[in-house]
Structure 1
Amino acid sequence: MLPDRRRLRTAALRRRLLAGVGAVALVASGGAAYAQQASSAPAQPGPDGLAPDAVYLEADSTIRTGDTLTATSNGEERVLARFRNTTLRAGEFRYDLNLGVASARDRVEFTDDAGNQVFASQLQLDSELRAGVAVDFATRFRNGASLMAATAVRRGENLNELNYAIFTPCPICDTDGSPKQPSISIQAEKVVQDESLRAILYRNAVFRIGGVPVFYMPVFSHPDPTVDRASGFLVPVPSYDEGRGYSLEVPYLQVISPSEDWLISPQFNTDVAPFLNLQWRRRFSDGTIVLRGGYTYERNFGDEPFGDRTNRSYFLGHGDFDPEGPWRWGFTAERTSDKTLFDRYDVRDPYQDNGLYYGDQRRLISQLYAERQTERSYLSVAAFSIQSLRVKEFDFANPALNIFESDGELPLVAPLIEARWEPDGPVFGGRLRLRGSAVALSRDDYIGSPVLRPEIIPAVPTIGYPGVDTRRVTGQAEWRRTMITSAGLRFEPFIDVRADLYSISDLPPMMGVEGGTITRSRATAGVDVSFPLIRRIGAGADLILEPMAQLSISTDPDYDSRIPNEDSPALELDESSLFRVDRFPGYDQLEGGMRFTTGGRATLRWGDGRQASLFVGRSFREEADTAFLTPVPGGAPGQLYDPSGLSADTSDWVVQGSFSPSDRIRGWAHATIDSSGDVRRAEVAVDGRWGRRNLATLSYVVDRSNPLASADSRNYEFVQLAGQQFIYGNWGIAASGIADMERNLITRSEVGLLFDDDCFRFELGWRRDNTQVRPSGPSEGIYIRLNLATFGGTG
């Protein structure tokens, strides 16, 4: 038995080695000729390790008849052939050594050099090793799409013809590998794959959903699934609005080059004139520019159009350039002709975070900026202006009379400079950080609180007053050193020195206060102390306790009532800001005196990544500071309150926690609680998942910092819920809503029927908007969302 097994193993090994030498070297008579050719002109091996003319073959038997090599497999294992970075498996494989033509039959599987796979019962490859003729043809693209046909013929270098074919972007097998009916498919009498156009063309195409025919087109085409972008119509976006009526947006993508395209997206409406949306994108070697715009010639409208017809438009553009080196620069340009244009025409994603500085919701920002960053330094220079689309005063009886925030009350910022630098090494054993900042602000219109200090706001009408102009230069140095004792106690002594120079002009003359140049300074010294403790409390469970404290002493910051509070009108106390030397987000507000801040964090970790954490902290100051008080919105003259929670000798309590008891549930909570135990602000969010695709998100936010409930009150309380639940198979329901608990009103809500599988997602439902921003007030209507694999979607 042993000699026989040795002979079998030796024969199999010999077949593999001979096949690996090359097509000419498969027989003894050709070996010398191949060796001589290789010696005179050695060929470089490809990624698979084979020379360009080499063939690697594994088979149970190989026979050469003339110039034809035949390899067969007698068992379940198929013949394996590798050549020119391609792989072929089949029950039988034939290769013409003279013509370079290969053919295969019986469970053929062919993978080309790009990773695309072809399956067939019979397959013939031309001299370029591409499919020439295939029977029972099927191919699977890298993105999961499949194309199948009874026969496939290669008509030219870039043209493939398939007869009685079917294309689907969906999986055709379930998770167990069993065949399944694709959710979406296109069946056609003839399909032509044009590789030069990178498109697939259909004749007599029948569209099927779940195998059921739903639509017929005599001709149809779409890009090859391997194409990232191609010119053509995208999925239309249907919608309904009480003001516009029924709408259909028909986007068309025109690809100019691999780095440039246009998106032309007209919106056709039954009750108002069409609205044209355009987008141009261009990528350069070191950056990108995206320009968007829209235009219509129409009257304003609510439930009915009113006013005169006029030009209405918007422009949204941004660019970002990052060449090699420390510098980068960019811009944003955002403007609209109407405060409610985005709402009335349902313009998608108008408020985006582009550029160095972001405009918040319902504010547009146009800016030009440049940045320079190295390992030890940072410098930014910017200038920007803002257009506001916010409602300042709602008229709930007639939303067309809403009063919007004036653009003249918002500053023109030019320039705004930020700089930081750290030396490349310790200074007195610690880290030294230098900061600088400069800004110039100018306004057209007067604005009182919170920009001006309460003590200089006049108690007389201020209509027609000029806007206050401010210029500021700030220099700051911070030194901090970390020291850890052998017991694990962590000390961080620090010193912070800062100086500000202000120039104020255009203060209203009736205030009796002149502008001018103002200087102030502040020096702070202190120490941070923390003592992390960890203890194993069970198998795979740890408890971490981290008490922490900070003691700091500052000089009097030299408050001057003429210094506006432009950048620090609001403060969100949390775990990170509570222990900062400068707890206000900007430069205009400063803290002084002696302060002691303490807190602690407890974290429990168990299982595989499960954890729960809670932080509680508070700050104490030597004496109360009335400089942080601001007028009550809608209150009587001189009525003040503390929106920061830092004015009294004890700050608000800060409570913050997170939990994730499993990989399907996670949550986060934050609250500030005043000395009387009342919640000033709070936010809670919980995400949950169950089953394979069911999910929900619940969030709650409340702000009760304003002591006076009025039309101008900034107090609010909202609950937001969004989720989806599958009822049967791929069918389910999706719902979302935002409830205003202060007004007992559902401000936004959606509920719809949902179908979702691995191939496409479809939603049909009803939505209502009660935000009162539109001239017509609340609106409601049907919404449709469709996202198709390969073909794109409506969003």
Structure 2
Amino acid sequence: MRLRPSLLLLGAALCGLTAPTYAQEAPPPDATEARDPAEATATPDQLYGGPPVPEVVDPTAEVDADQVIDFAADTLSYDEGADIVTASGNVILVRGGYRLRAQTVEYNRRSGVVEARGNVIVIDPGGNQAFGDRVELTESLRDGAIENILLVLQDGGRLAARSGKRVDGRSELDRAIYSPCDIDDSEGCPKKPVWQIKAVKIIHDPARERMTYRHAYFELFGIPVLYLPSLSHPVGGSGSAGGLLVPDIRLDRSLGLELKVPYYLSLAKNRDLTITPYLYTDANPMLGAEYRHLFGGGPARVGGLITKATRETTAGNDKNDVRGYFFANGRLQHSTAWRSTLGVRLTTDDTFLRRYDISRDDTLRNFYTLERFGGTSYLSIEGWAFQGLRADDRAGQQPIALPLVDFQWRPELDALGGRLEVRANTLAITRTDGQDTQRALAQVRWDAATYTPMGQRVTATAMFRADAYHTNDTDLSPFPIYSGKDGWSGRAIPVAALDAEWPFAGPAFGGMQTLTPRVQLVGSGKGDNSDIPNEDARAVDLDDLNLFSLNRFNGFDRWGGGARVTYGARWTLDRPNWRVELEGGQSYRFDKDSDLFPVGTGLSGNFSDFVGRSTLKIGSFVDVTHRFRVDKNGLEVRRNEIDATIGSRRTYATIGYVRLNRDIQLEDLQDREEARVGGRVAFARYWSLFGSAIVDLTGRGEDPLNLSDGYEPIRHRVGIAYEDECFELGVTWRRDYTQDRDFRAGNTFLIRLSLKNLGR
């Protein structure tokens, strides 16, 4: 079937004109950024020049039959006998949110018919634009008929037809073509759209945000590939219309060929439901659903997946069972002061999420938080529960933290030139087959900062904290070093600190440099840790973030007491469009407590290890951060961490490397070494290559170049993608090298095809 006029012919007619065409040049493609619909909608001034279109105060208001048409034109004449007003030359008419522009407009006052000729443009309140040679409209400018029509939708789609009419806001086009693709090349001359739909009739209904076709052909690269007697899909961006979403096709090592076809249902302006069937050649089908609701106080969603499939148990037996996953999250603002946050993630078994490529988490966290924000106070009431997915996780050892209450208050009063902070915290941890712990603490802190005449910033701190603990079933703890003792225990912790910084600034290397030495003195009660259980302060490690902290432990259950001095410096150099920052330091403890910090954390002994960080930023093109810890005795590098991003939005590389050489045989503190690399290279105009890899280097020994010893890839992916303003195609190859029971190592191939503006 051959239909005229086509989008290609319309593009040819516009090629070579000095005035801009309706087809806007597509922005550079980026798979992570959606196209702005506003860029695809040209204003009348962009198309033909001339005076600006008058603004309408309320485009959504009901059209008043007696409303006067506002207009502007070069010349105006009136035929008194025929009662016809004729406007010529850059004519602009505005009424009720509808705008018309043409070279000549005749308005028959008796019949109420408006006839426009010559480069006619009609714009509705939604921003959709209709172009034609001759347009006949009612005096409301809402309904009428158009010859050789071109309709440019607000979301970037285009409709071309031999003729059309608009009735009650709906556009009905005969022998028409729809496509969101550009029909002009970079020089403004015509090209074939990547894809288009030709139909005997196309109906565009803006109220329902829907496009309907009768006897349609789908063409890809100019070749008819599918005949559709009837077709309908949503258009527009408000989400009020339902329909099929973009399908996913993948070939998985254990599931076979997978087809994922989501279907979107709009239940109301603030509610929707997405139902997703998953079909596999080597596994039973799976059904997924997600419900979203925007309440007056905020968003919430709930969903899950369910199937019946065989799974391998920890004993090595296969079991055919119902498998699935449930999730829910949301945040509701109850009032200006109160807010709730919820997160739930539950699965039927350990390997379901990894087998079906949903998540690689080894622990699922479930929580509810109720917060109150006052002018000088903050209250948080939380509950936490966990599901461990590792093979050696025991359900009875998973903690249930309920309640966890934290209260902070900073009164608005001058306390000897400083500020007071009062804090209280309580926690109850219960395990069905393990140690139980209850904790309560109260803390008062005073901080006062001042500047000396020489420019030093001096901060004085005084704090007192009292803790009470109760513990039972410590013999069930898998880590006796963290268990504490059964029964009640407590401690009192007084703290005093003095912190001084002295910045020096001046010009250097074409920019401005700043050198800031810093010294901190801390005196504290030792805070006996021997009988106290350790639930939240296990992963202790000295770094640049906690070097000047009053407590180097990251939780409440451990306190690093005694007297110490910490010293360091920060140097920055700022030049136009780039910045360099270096900082580092060390501390000295006046009393030696061999049991306070494990050897290898950088804090054992009198002198700590050296820690620091360096940062280089060059505009938005280069961002490199290096963090390190150097052993105080043998100057060995105990921590070496690099994160770098280099490149532009379309072509970039990311590099990550971490090596922890601490030689500590404790949970959360074991040595590891890992490298990560990723990137994307854009070429031609719409094509890009991308890839990433994660490699475990922990077992390489002392020789950093010996990749054969302990080199263990974890996962990598490589792909190629094409994306323009209306079409997206991506092919990805991913390989996993780890496995756990029925989660197998192997290859996965993913094919993604997206026809933009066709579905959601």
Q: Is the 8 A contact 2:97 2:125 kept in 1?
A: yes
For residue 719 of structure 1, the aligned residue among 675, 678, 692 is 675
For residue 546 of structure 2, the aligned residue among 574, 577, 580 is 577
Q: What corresponds to 2:523 in structure 1?
A: 553
Deviation for aligned residue 1:744: 0.8
CA deviation digits over 1:615-668, x for unaligned, max 9? 1122221133333445xxxxxxxxxx44x3222222222221221223322222
Distance 1:183 1:604, change over 3 A: farther
Q: Is the 8 A contact 2:451 2:457 kept in 1?
A: yes
Q: What corresponds to 1:70 in structure 2?
A: 86
Report the TM-score, using the length of structure 2 for normalisation: 0.84
Distance 2:471 2:396 in 1: 18
Matches within 5 A, 1:556-705: 556-559=526-529, 561-607=530-576, 609-629=577-597, 641-642=599-600, 644-675=601-632, 676-689=634-647, 693-705=650-662
Distance 1:483 1:209, change over 3 A: farther
For residue 118 of structure 1, the aligned residue among 130, 143, 146 is 130
The aligned amino acid for 2:320 is R
CA deviation digits over 1:67-119, x for unaligned, max 9? 3211111xxxx222333333322111122334443221111122222322222
| Larger RCO of the pair (alpha carbons < 8 Å, separation 6+) | 2
Q: What corresponds to 1:544 in structure 2?
A: 514
Say whether 1:371 aligns with 2:371.
yes
The aligned amino acid for 2:638 is R
Deviation for aligned residue 1:535: 1.2
Q: What corresponds to 1:258 in structure 2?
A: 269
Distance 1:253 1:46 in 2: 32
Q: What corresponds to 1:394 in structure 2?
A: none
Deviation for aligned residue 1:779: 2.1
Distance 1:242 1:301, change over 3 A: farther
Distance 1:374 1:501 in 2: 27
Say whether 1:408 aligns with 2:396.
yes
Greater Cα offset, 216-225 or 474-483: 216-225
Say whether 1:431 aligns with 2:419.
yes
Distance 1:56 1:600, change over 3 A: same
Distance 1:95 1:88 in 2: 12
Q: Is the 8 A contact 1:172 1:182 kept in 2?
A: yes
Deviation for aligned residue 1:181: 4.2
Deviation for aligned residue 1:341: 0.3
Deviation for aligned residue 1:481: 1.1
Q: Is the 8 A contact 1:380 1:417 kept in 2?
A: yes
Distance 1:534 1:791, change over 3 A: farther
Q: What corresponds to 2:253 in structure 1?
A: 242
Greater Cα offset, 167-176 or 588-597: 167-176
The aligned amino acid for 1:132 is G
Say whether 1:163 aligns with 2:132.
no
Matches within 5 A, 1:239-318: 239-300=250-311, 307-318=318-329
The aligned amino acid for 1:660 is K
SS at match of 1:343: helix
Deviation for aligned residue 1:151: 1.8
Deviation for aligned residue 1:172: 4.3
CA deviation digits over 1:460-510, x for unaligned, max 9? xxxxxxx22111111111111111123321111111211111111123299
Distance 1:265 1:61, change over 3 A: same
Q: Is the 8 A contact 1:144 1:171 kept in 2?
A: no
Deviation for aligned residue 1:185: 2.9
The aligned amino acid for 1:368 is Y
Deviation for aligned residue 1:267: 0.8
The aligned amino acid for 2:333 is D
Say whether 1:54 aligns with 2:54.
no
Greater Cα offset, 750-759 or 433-442: 750-759
RMSD: 3.0
Distance 1:256 1:599, change over 3 A: same
Distance 2:115 2:733 in 1: 58
Q: What corresponds to 1:81 in structure 2?
A: 93
Distance 1:410 1:345 in 2: 24
Deviation for aligned residue 1:320: 2.2
Q: What corresponds to 1:386 in structure 2?
A: 386
Deviation for aligned residue 1:326: 0.9
Q: Is the 8 A contact 1:278 1:293 kept in 2?
A: yes
CA deviation digits over 1:216-264, x for unaligned, max 9? 4332211022442422221221112222111111211122212222211
Distance 1:729 1:328, change over 3 A: closer
Q: Is the 8 A contact 2:96 2:140 kept in 1?
A: no
**Count of residues in Structure 1 that have an aligned counterpart in Structure 2:** 686
Report the TM-score, using the length of structure 1 for normalisation: 0.81
Distance 1:410 1:653 in 2: 36
Q: Is the 8 A contact 1:621 1:649 kept in 2?
A: yes
Distance 1:534 1:141, change over 3 A: farther
Matches within 5 A, 1:736-755: 736-742=692-698, 743-755=710-722
Q: Is the 8 A contact 1:299 1:306 kept in 2?
A: no
Q: What corresponds to 2:690 in structure 1?
A: 734
Gaps of 5+ in 1: 1-18, 23-43, 352-360, 391-402, 446-466, 631-640
The aligned amino acid for 1:732 is S
The aligned amino acid for 1:409 is Q
Q: Is the 8 A contact 2:536 2:554 kept in 1?
A: yes
Distance 1:734 1:484 in 2: 52
Q: Is the 8 A contact 2:119 2:133 kept in 1?
A: yes
CA deviation digits over 1:325-372, x for unaligned, max 9? 31112333321111010111223xx58xxxxxxxxx321122232111
Distance 1:298 1:120 in 2: 59
Deviation for aligned residue 1:567: 0.3
CA deviation digits over 1:365-386, x for unaligned, max 9? 2223211112211001111210
Q: Is the 8 A contact 2:203 2:211 kept in 1?
A: yes
Distance 1:768 1:148, change over 3 A: same
Distance 1:176 1:110, change over 3 A: farther
Distance 1:487 1:729, change over 3 A: same
Distance 2:204 2:484 in 1: 79
Deviation for aligned residue 1:55: 3.0
Distance 2:505 2:110 in 1: 76
Distance 1:216 1:618, change over 3 A: farther
Deviation for aligned residue 1:214: 4.0
Deviation for aligned residue 1:574: 3.7
Distance 2:667 2:457 in 1: 50
CA deviation digits over 1:178-221, x for unaligned, max 9? 55544443333321113443210123333344444444433221
Distance 2:667 2:467 in 1: 37
Deviation for aligned residue 1:532: 1.9
The aligned amino acid for 1:54 is V
SS at match of 1:528: strand
Deviation for aligned residue 1:711: 12
Q: Is the 8 A contact 1:343 1:774 kept in 2?
A: no
Gaps of 5+ in 2: 1-50, 699-709
Greater Cα offset, 430-439 or 647-656: 647-656
The aligned amino acid for 1:693 is R
Q: What corresponds to 2:341 in structure 1?
A: 330
Deviation for aligned residue 1:524: 1.0
Say whether 1:207 aligns with 2:218.
yes
The aligned amino acid for 1:337 is T
